[in-house]
Chain A
Amino acid sequence: MKPFSFIHAADLHLGSPFKGVGSRLPAAGEELGAATYEAFLALVDLCIEKSVDFLMVAGDVFDLSDRSLRAQLAFRDGLARLSDAGIRSFTVLGNHDPWEAWSNRINWPEKAHLFPPDQVETIPVSIGNSPVATVSGISYRTHRQAEDLSAGFQAENPDLYQIALLHSNCGNNPDHGVYAPCSLDSLRTSGFDYWALGHVHEQKILETRPYIVYPGCLQGLSIRESGEHGCWLVNVSASRQATLSFQPLDKLRWRTAEIDIGGLETLDDLDRTISDTLSRQSDEGAGRPVIIRIRLSGRGDLYQPLRQISVTEELLERFRETGSLHSPPVWVQDLEIDCRPEVDLEKRGAMDDLLGQILRGAGELRASPDTLSERLMPALSDVYQNPRLARYLCPPSPSELKALLQDAALICFDQLESEP
């Protein structure tokens, strides 16, 4: 068998918005809007540069909720460039870009293949006249895909390197939507050499014999998707041994910087510390712009000033300005204040006054998580039982509620303790 190579990518989410950025980061607007497209262009360039034999895209090219035509045409144009360069491409469609969501009028390039829904299709791949591999795949017809599609894959050409291409939640991971769920065992014993999966946005190699691999999304879309993103470059030797190397393609990176205010005495100290952090982050972005969340935690003299909205807003504004001056820029998404007063709130709660009573009350509520939601949600009913707002908001989870309660206790502390 002749050696060959391919690239495995997934979850392009072309044109998808970035989540959680908020209107307070207008400077990054244009870069954010173009990042997913630029990452895809980089993928195409990489295929050409590495002269791979084919590209595999494991679903979620764009977002169903958008049905972005620009994304569909940009994808077609990218595959056309590959086709012109003599590189084949294989694509399955996932829950975000099911078959029905695509335009019927797109003329796909000669060397691009979209796997149809309903039935697994197998396409042979040859290098010259020598067959080397098969690629099997199946697309989602609609965005609802509750059944295990991996069951339909049959490894019928053991002499060739057999690749399965599927958008699926392997191992039924609760952190991700349940689409075409399948078990790791069933894939392990399926007889395929390489399961090219999509859906999970984090790069993962679940198994190496056979390879069961997620490349993650091409471009992180929120602070939850921090770190590097890209695709797998797979080289298969004549002895059918695959070598994987990860190729970062993201155009900007998400990061979180933790700063303990413990040793800081003045806002100037904080300013210096954060300026240093921003410089470091700019250097560590590997030439990419960075979107950063700065989380301030710990106890210290700065607790009181940091509780004032005017102060934190001014700081944030300043850090944004400083960050944007770096090259490449560091955009500060937000400033998360998770600091505690120097006073031990537990001890303060033991005092027999109103604040003590409040802190004791908050402590008791936190100690009974089962009834937390039942007791606190009525106080939040103006928001969460407001039908108009409910369309845009999810009720807070128990952990979020607990955090809110802690913040509320701190507000009480600030208001009642600092006053003469």
Chain B
Amino acid sequence: MKISGVYIDGFGVFHDQSVSGLDRNLLLFSGQNEAGKSTLLGFIRSVLFGFPRANSKDSLYLPVAGGEHGGYIDLVTQSGQRWSVSRKPGKGGGTIAVTGADGLVHDKTMLDQLLGGISYEAYRSIMAFGLSELQTMDTLSGEHIASAIYGAGLGTSMMAMPRALKQIRKRMDDLLKGRGGSKIINRLTGELDSLRKAIHEASLQTDRYDSAFDALSAVEKDVQSHREKLTDSRRRKQRFESLERLWPDWIAFRESRLALSELGPATETFPEDGLSILEALAEKQDRFRETLDALKKRLDQLSSRLSQLPVDEKILSRAQDIASLVENRNAYLENFRRRPMLAREEQSLQEKIIQRLSHLGNDWTEAAILDFNRSLFTRDTVRGHQSSLDSLEKKLAAVETLLADKKAVCHRATEARILAEKDVAAVGDPPPERDQESVQRLKQGRDRFLDALEEYKRLSKAHDEARSELSRLEEEFRKTGSGSKWPVVMLAGIGTIAAGVVAFFGYFEEAFMVMGGTLMVTWATWVHRKHQHQLHMNHKSRLRQEQLRADELLARCRHLESIKKEYFQFAKSSGAIDTGDIPEEALPVAVDRFFYVLSEEDKKRESLIQSRRRLDERKSDETTALKDLEKVAADQEEVKKSLLQEKSEWTEKCRALGFSHSLSPATALDALDVIEETVGLLQQRDRCKSEGSRMEAELAKYREKAGEVLSSVGWPIAEDNDLPPAMNELMTRLEESRGNKREKDTLERQLAGLLEEQAEAEELLLQTEEAARGLIETAGLQDESDFRKIGRIEQKRAELLSAARLAEGNMRRISGEVDISGLKEHLEPLSLADILSEKETAEEETRTLDGELSGFYARRAELKQALDTLSTSDDISRLRSREAVLLADLAENTREWSRHALAEYLIHQAREIFERKHQPSIIKEAGEIFSRMTGGRYRGVVSPLGENTIEAVDRNGGRIPPEHLSRGTAEQLYLSVRFSYIRHQAHNSDPLPVIMDDILVNFDPERARSAAGAIKNLSETHQVMVFTCHPETVDLLLEIDPALPVYGLSGGRILEPDQPKARKKSKTP
């Protein structure tokens, strides 16, 4: 397919530009920078594939010189079909119209067919590209392009290979990577390194055990020798410590001895501790005298108290009787108070009894009352008769009430039956039945008829409008017409004739000008005619659409007409309307009226059924009421008989009880209650009588006893009321005498004891006085003062001797020696300073030895502990176990790594072989083009399998990725791939035009020439448009194809190519 012409209405700098006659294989468009090359490229892309979106990276090329955005491109296919593709602004990349040679307009689907389904991305990247697209690999990596270029048809495993390699490598890296410590193998190795050091340390434990064993033996010897030295040193230290401690005693001993020698000879006859004994005896005498004084005072006090305590012996002798009288005085008082009250109560009861007897009748006495049979049986019998009589009377009353009710019911039932008979007669005969199916059909058809009526009106109106629009369009169609071709032919003919005439006269240049002018006018006329034709065709299309619409409306109106008619006929046949004369609009009202009549008939039928049902019910009610009435009358007779029988039995019972025969059972029960009450009163009166007699007896007894006691103690006899106070007073006196008697006995016992103590004290005083005198006489002295003087000297001597003995005792205790004579001799020449000095020396020596021994002990314990630890330690086993664990883990992980490393190796090996054998054909052909383009510097192109990339293969077979090639070579590589792709694309569809925008600028002259050759080759199968701003490119392509048309681009205009000849001329200065 080729682009044969272009019309740009408004696009960037271009406005109202058109160019035709482009349907050649190779074309060159040359222009300065900003002349519009890229704009023209953009225009072709936009018309074929749509305007870029507003947010696209691509330039929008909005019109800057006027005109509507867009234009059209004329295309001619390989089979010679011509198409015009126009694009105007609109939704989704613009409004597209694809018009064929027959003038029919098609939509985008046709364009897609023409373009062989190629995507915009693919066309833009591969077939209509500029330098910027050529310079990057990305444009060859799009999904559709890549699958075509790199790897389709190589099997699923090829597609999965990159992912597989990635996963395998990831697994390997998880296990081992560089020097990082976080990977499993690295971590295990690190841990093993540390562990080996620890194992080495632990493996020396046997040597350590031997060393510790030897060291322990040496330390044991040191301990032994130090222990001996320390014992000796401690002994000396203890010796001087004891001398230091006993030093004060030694000094006391020496001083006591000196003082004794100064006291002179002792008095042999002086009793030992004589002075102390004398002092003790004097002290005792003083104490006895004080005791005697105190006893005397106490005796006087007791005698005085005794004289103040009186005691009444008479009262004391009747203490028991008095206590008894006092105890019973309250009972006496109570009896005294209650006796008259009891007499009054007895009197009152007697009166009540007489009253009850008079109520019962003259025949009733106390004896008759007491003899009456008051058992429960009597009362129950009376109650039984009362209950039977009451029950029968109530029953009779109830039956009589029921009888009255039944009579009333019978009367009401008869009245209701007569009313129901009247209702039935009032309703009359029922109307005839209707055909329900017809009625139902009539109801359903009514709404449909109404809808059809409405729809018919609406469609009729629409049809009328469609008809008028059709008339208008026919008028317009006639006005636009298809136009005549003869003005064009005539213009061309006149111009040709004029040019022939001018040429005939030898004015060839003028003839050419006339011919040129004629052609231009003819072309303009032809363009105008074509525009008219387009408008005419558009009108025609709309006319056809409107005609179709009107026809469709008419058909639907007719259909509705038939529905209406059918319902009208049915209404008439079913009797809903009487005649067919009524208008269509009145039919629904007539039908509704018919429906009303039907509903009234239904109501009447229903009313008659209801009345008849009610009459039947009333008749049945009347019969039932009559039967009930008869039954109740029979019951009444029965009850009356039973009542007469029961009354006769009760009269007999009254006689038997002694009551009057006219007494009712209720009255008889009241009489029984009175008899019961009278019996109770008789019993109460008897109890009062007996209680009065008992009280009288007790009062007399108390009075007698009180009189006897009062006379025995010499007190006057008191009256009845005064007896209790007299007893109280007597009791008070009795308590007083008892208390005084007790105290008097106690005081007399104390008095006797004190007199004994007094006698004893006086005896002791005499004894001590005698002892003191004896003591003084024993010492051979007469006077107590002499005794005391000599006594003090002897006391001093005794103290000094005691102090000396105490000091000696302490010295023995402290030194631990029984015989301390040696010690005394040893101490005699020594001073305390000497002792302290010696002690300090011994202490220092002990401390030193002690410290050394502690060190040895610690060392020994340390060594024993070490030996113990070493002999029980299992460090080495633990570490070895851990090492074995780590080694096992390491081996397993290394195996896992190795498996994956070998898998990676296998894939790489296979890929290399596979790549050599299975390069995609596009890549193979691209390699050939690339090789030619680079003059054999590179052998070909390779696509690593499964990767969407390519690499150049140099003449030695080395692979070089594009990023390592020079910019020019990389562009040549990409160009080769594009050319190869374009060729392959043409196998499946019409070869599309190829457009290249200044792509040779980075090529060296030699490769540019080769590339130009490749472009020329490509143009044998494809239309190729080359845009350039470089004269060298123009020259290069002209060199290869001297007949190449070179279109100029300048200031938003497309300039027609010069003739080769003229171009040659213009190039010549």
A residues sitting closer than 8 Å to B (CB atoms) are 15-24, 29, 32-33, 63, 65-73, 101-105, 334, 351, 353-355, 357-358, 360-362, 376, 379-380, 382-383, 388-389, 391-393, 396, 404-405, 407-409, 411-412, 415-417, 419-420
Contact = CB atoms under 8 A, between A and B. Distances in A.
A253 B242 CA distance: 75
A310 to B, nearest CB: 13
A411 B863 CA distance: 59
A251 to B, nearest CB: 15
Contact of B907 (A67, A102, A404, A412): A412
Nearest to B161: A354
Contacts of B899: 404, 407-408, 411
A66 B880 contact: yes
Those 5 A-B pairs whose CB atoms lie nearest each other, nearest first? A353-B155, A408-B902, A419-B160, A415-B164, A17-B884
Contacts of B894: 383, 389, 393
B874 interface: yes
A358 B906 contact: yes
Nearest to B166: A415
B489 interface: no
B205 interface: yes
B189 A389 contact: yes
Nearest to A72: B206
A76 to B, nearest CB: 10
A353 B154 contact: yes
Given A22-B892, A408-B899, A69 B884 contact: no
Contacts of A16: 877, 880
24 contacts: A17-B877, A19-B888, A20-B884, A23-B888, A23-B889, A32-B881, A33-B874, A33-B878, A65-B880, A68-B205, A70-B871, A105-B214, A353-B154, A353-B156, A355-B157, A382-B901, A383-B176, A392-B192, A404-B895, A407-B902, A408-B900, A415-B160, A415-B164, A416-B164
B905 A376 contact: yes
Given A362-B906, A388-B189, A392-B192, A419 B156 contact: yes
Contacts of A32: 881
B168 A411 contact: yes
A354 B874 contact: no
Interface string B744-777: 0000000000000000000000000000000000
A65 B905 contact: no
Interface string B130-174: 000000000000000000000000111111110110011000000
A362 B899 CA distance: 12
Interface stretch (B349-357, B466-474, B908-916): B908-916
A248 B901 CA distance: 44
A22 B895 CA distance: 14
Contacts of A334: 892
A354 B914 contact: yes
Interface in B699-723: none
A15 B210 contact: no
B903 interface: yes
Contacts of A419: 156-157, 159-160, 163-164
Contacts of B199: 65-66
B440 interface: no
A67 B200 CA distance: 10
A20 B892 CA distance: 9
B701 to A, nearest CB: 104
B903 A412 contact: yes
A73 B906 CA distance: 55
A293 B192 CA distance: 25
A69 B209 contact: yes
Contact of A23 (B214, B886, B898): B886
A412 B906 contact: yes
Nearest to B192: A392
A105 B213 contact: yes
B904 interface: yes
B156 A70 contact: no
Given A68-B876, A408-B906, A33 B881 contact: yes
A90 to B, nearest CB: 22
Contacts of B873: 69-70
Given A63-B880, A357-B914, A380-B902, 10 more contacts: A15-B877, A16-B880, A68-B876, A69-B870, A353-B157, A355-B155, A379-B902, A408-B899, A415-B903, A416-B164
A103 B167 CA distance: 55
Contacts of B910: 354, 357-358, 360-361
A313 B106 CA distance: 65
B945 interface: yes
A20 B202 CA distance: 22
B885 interface: yes
A411 B900 contact: yes
Contacts of B204: 67
B884 A409 contact: no
Contacts of A360: 910
Given A18-B881, A70-B873, A354-B161, A65 B203 contact: yes
Contacts of B872: 70
B888 A411 contact: no
A15 B156 contact: no
Contact of B887 (A380, A392, A417): A392
Contact of A19 (B210, B884, B895, B900): B884
A104 B210 contact: yes
A420 B155 CA distance: 10
A411 B903 contact: yes
Contacts of B905: 376, 379, 408
A29 B871 CA distance: 22
A65 to B, nearest CB: 7
Contacts of A361: 906, 909-910, 913
Contacts of A66: 199, 202-203, 876-877, 880
B210 to A, nearest CB: 5
A334 B892 CA distance: 10
Nearest to B890: A392
B897 interface: yes
A392 B876 contact: no
Contacts of B874: 15, 33, 68, 70
B883 interface: yes
Interface in B952-969: none
Contacts of A405: 902
A72 B204 CA distance: 13
B871 A73 contact: yes
Contacts of B900: 408, 411
A138 B899 CA distance: 48
A253 B163 CA distance: 44
B876 to A, nearest CB: 4
B891 interface: yes
B914 to A, nearest CB: 5
A354 B163 contact: no
Contacts of B202: 66
B673 to A, nearest CB: 95
Contacts of B576: none
A383 B894 CA distance: 8
A372 B874 CA distance: 44
B169 to A, nearest CB: 11
Contacts of A411: 168, 899-900, 903
A389 B877 contact: no
B876 A103 contact: no
B190 to A, nearest CB: 9
Contacts of A358: 906-907, 909-910
Contacts of A420: 156, 160
B206 A67 contact: yes
Contacts of B203: 65-67
A29 B885 CA distance: 10
Contact of A102 (B163, B206, B884, B886): B206
A353 B873 CA distance: 62
Contacts of B155: 351, 353-355
A361 B168 CA distance: 18
Contacts of A362: 906
A419 B155 CA distance: 11
